[in-house]
Amino acid sequence: MITLTEENYIKAIYHLSSNGEKTVNTNAIASAMQTKASSVTDMIKKLSEKNYADYKKYQGVTLTDDGKRVAVNIIRKHRLWEVFLVEKLNFSWDEVHEVAEHLEHIKSDKLIDELDAFLEFPTYDPHGDPIPDKEGNFKHIEKIVLAKAEVGSAYKCVGVDDTSSKFLKYLDSNHIALGTIITVKHKEPFDNSIKIALENSEIVVSQSVAKNLYLKKI
């Protein structure tokens, strides 16, 4: 039996290690989980005992194949529920994360497979993140961050790094959504702000915005 808390730690480690590869520090996990390093040490010992993680004292932690499987499955559930909330229950993209954080822990294979079918097997969630299929496979989307885009080129908005309500509402109020076409007009060296052209307007976005918006060249 795997507990809800273990699942959340495994998911955090997975995200911090960019897909289960590189080792993750205790402090990084503590800050991601909003807890203390001592709690993390206890938990990674447990995950290691249960064979979800490999861990050597003071050397950080990586997920085992079992651990990665668990992580990807929770991410699959999280993202499918997010699609459900937006597509069927009139949630906006800035409202779904918190609820999905809980729904992702409901344990029923039939539930999630039927939900997947009901939603017609979506491949991306409302934030542009790919949804793993039943076997855990998903394609890594080709994307760059706005901060690295080149002046003069046109891009399509395909995702966000920060999924906080604040950031998503900022995008809403500036008429930026997934699929929006953006042309980079000017990069200001002084503060790294960027002037971009949308369909009917030109706006200047700050460096923090530019680092959190994912684009694909078109």
Taking the complex as a whole, how short is the minimal distance between the CB of residue 207 and DNA, in angstroms?
Answer: 24
Kindly state the helix (H) or strand (E) to which residue 213 belongs, with its residue range.
strand 213-217
Residues of this chain, 125-144, that bind Mn ion according to CB under 5 A: 125, 127, 129
Q: Is 57 a binder of a second copy (CB under 8 A)?
A: no
Residue 57 to residue 62: CA distance in whole angstroms: 12
Of 3-11, 43-51, 110-118, 133-141, which part binds Mn ion (CB under 5 A)? Answer: 3-11
Q: Is 68 a binder of Mn ion (CB under 5 A)?
A: no
Of 53-61, 91-99, 120-128, 195-203, which part binds DNA (CB under 7 A)? Answer: 53-61
Nearby residues of 42 by Cβ (< 8 Å), 6 or more positions away: none
Taking the complex as a whole, how short is the minimal distance between the CB of residue 82 and a second copy, in angstroms?
Answer: 12
Nearby residues of 159 by Cβ (< 8 Å), 6 or more positions away: 127, 128, 129, 141, 143, 178, 213, 214
Return phi, psi of residue 113, to 5°. -70, -40
Q: What is the largest CA-CA distance in the chain?
A: 57
Query: Contact residues for Mn ion (CB under 5 A)?
Result: 8, 82, 101, 125, 127, 129
Which residues contact DNA (rule: CB under 7 A)? Answer: 3-6, 25-28, 33, 35-46, 55, 57-60
